[in-house]
Amino acid sequence: MIPSSADHRGASACEAVRAQTFAACDHELSCDEVAAIDAHLVTCESCRSRVLADATFHRVLRAATALETAPPALHDRILLSLTTRTTVNAPA
């Protein structure tokens, strides 16, 4: 959670926002956490710029490392192999 400026110096709030940027990009934060970040960004140009840069980096990185999906037959063979391996190695 982002510290309120009434409770902490502005730098603490900025540090908290910057520490959660990538979690926000990955949709790993609660609605309350996102709302707290958004509220901070309304008043902090420095964090707005940083979050925008981090979000752009995150988007470009995801696009550059997009994985190809396996053909359905390969997927099925791998799943069967893992299931068989688990069953064979299961304790009696």
Cβ-in-10-Å burial (0-12, 13-18, 19+) of 13 comes to buried
Model pTM score: 0.58
Which residue from 24, 16, 14 is spatially nearest to 48, judged by alpha carbons?
14
pLDDT at position 1, please? 53
pLDDT at position 8, please? 42
User: How do residues 13-48 score in pLDDT, each as one tens digit?
Assistant: 999 999 999 999 999 999 999 999 999 999 999 999
User: How do residues 54-69 score in pLDDT, each as one tens digit?
Assistant: 999 999 998 888 777 8
Is residue 3 pLDDT above 60, yes or no? no
Say how far apart CA 46 and CA 55 lie, in whole Å.
14
